[in-house]
Amino acid sequence: MKLSTAVVNGVSATLLSVLAASALAQQDYPSRPVRIIVPFPPGGSTDPMARLVAHKLSERWNNATIVVDNRPGGNTIIGTSIVARAAPDGYTMGYCGASFFSTATLIPNIPYNAVTDFVGVTAIAKSRVVLVTHPSVPAKTLKELIALVKSKPGELSFGTSGIGTNTHLSAELFMQLTGTQLLHVPYKGSGPLTNDLLGGRVDLSFQVTITQIPNINAGRVRPLAISGEGRIRALPDVPTFDEAGLPNYGLTGWTCLIAPKGTPMHVRAKVANTWAEVVKSPDMAALMEKQGMESYVASPDETTRLIKASVAEYAKVIRDANITFKP
């Protein structure tokens, strides 16, 4: 059946009007201050990156007001709950990563569903985990450490920034893959952990690279291996776990922006497209590399899919290790 010229023209006009309305909606956003909820205290390893994101988005949006709102507590549940309850209009987003993925399984009866109550906005950055030991530990390679731990099961200690954190689950995955046993010493945050690691009160730790690069460069800790594919410019002499003899190691380390379910696609797409433009600049790439981070870009739909996959990935490690958490 042939369509009349009038009908075709009518359809074309309708499509053009829809596209024009979408473009106009993107131009209109944001028309008031945007809030990015960070479920951690100011000054932690997550906070600087969230503030960098807010600053760069603001620059691209004619100095629009974007506020980083730190809401720590409850193993990130307090801040994340605020995002879940917010109006789905794009003016409240959450900055999240490993703790968001692990809490979904670790803590029962949380007041939201990490997979169904949120939608992805954009991926922000990839992070790596580096295994560091105190210099007094008599192992200078990963293979030597594995042999040492096997000869003294349960004697060497590893510090973490808390039960169920990425630093904890990375160690659990290491023990699962190597058949070793380490003594877990949890801390309330990365600050106290780092102090005891530098003081030799814990033997080793699996840390996000950004927190340990200064200590590694100063010789205060010894790096043995780094997660991910390929070495990083900030630590060119540190081999990957695969290079060091432990293939298929590492949880997917990445951060993203999320929004309440129902947040319009045109809003999320504008954020994602703007961030994709930001990370193209050479100065941005150099800045992230210096911090041991890698820029990461994903569409809203792809970010939503990646969140679901990461929740499942972290859940497997938690269940295999039989980790329980009592608030």
Non-local (6+) Cβ contacts of 67 within 8 A are 33, 34, 35, 36, 54
Residue 126, exposed/middle/buried by CB under 10 A (0-12, 13-18, 19+)? middle
Given this model, what pLDDT does residue 26 score? 56
Q: How do the domains of the chain map onto residue ranges?
A: 32-126+253-320, 129-226
Q: What is the mean pLDDT of residues 37-57?
A: 88
Instruction: Find the helix or strand (DSSP H, E) in which 188 lies.
Output: none
Question: Strand 34-38 to strand 66-70: parallel, antiparallel, or no bridges (unpaired)?
Answer: parallel
Q: Taking the mean position of all CA atoms in its chain, how far away is CA 256?
A: 6
- DSSP for 13-67? HHHHHHHHHHHHHHHH--SS-EEEEESS-TTSSSHHHHHHHHHHHHHHTTS--EE
Q: What is the pLDDT of residues 110-128, one digit of tens each?
A: 999 999 999 999 999 998 9
Query: Which superfamily does CATH assign the domain made up of 129-226 to?
Result: Periplasmic binding protein-like II (3.40.190.10)
Distances (CA, A) of 314 to 173, 180, 262, 320: 10, 20, 25, 10
Which residue is listed with tokens 């808390």?
A: 162
Residues 321 and 301: their CA atoms lie apart, in Å, by 31
Q: What is the pLDDT of residues 231-286, one digit of tens each?
A: 988 899 999 999 999 998 988 889 999 999 999 999 999 999 999 999 998 888 88
Residue 186, exposed/middle/buried by CB under 10 A (0-12, 13-18, 19+)? middle
Q: Could you tell me if 173 and 131 are in contact, meaning their C-beta atoms sit under 8 angstroms apart?
A: no
Q: Given a cut of 70, is residue 170 above it in pLDDT?
A: yes
Is 32-126+253-320's fold the same as 129-226's?
A: yes
Q: Given a cut of 50, is residue 2 above it in pLDDT?
A: no
Confidence of residue 92 (pLDDT cuts 50, 70, 90): very high
Residues 97 and 271: their CA atoms lie apart, in Å, by 18
Mean pLDDT of the chain: 89
Residues 42 and 44: their CA atoms lie apart, in Å, by 6
Residues 90 and 36: their CA atoms lie apart, in Å, by 10
Q: Could you tell me if 246 and 175 are in contact, meaning their C-beta atoms sit under 8 angstroms apart?
A: no
Q: What is the mean pLDDT of residues 66-78?
A: 92
Q: Given a cut of 50, is residue 8 above it in pLDDT?
A: no
What fold does the segment set 32-126+253-320 form as a domain? D-Maltodextrin-Binding Protein; domain 2 (3.40.190)
More confident call, 216 vs 165: 216
* Model confidence, pTM: 0.84
Q: What is the mean pLDDT of residues 6-19?
A: 49
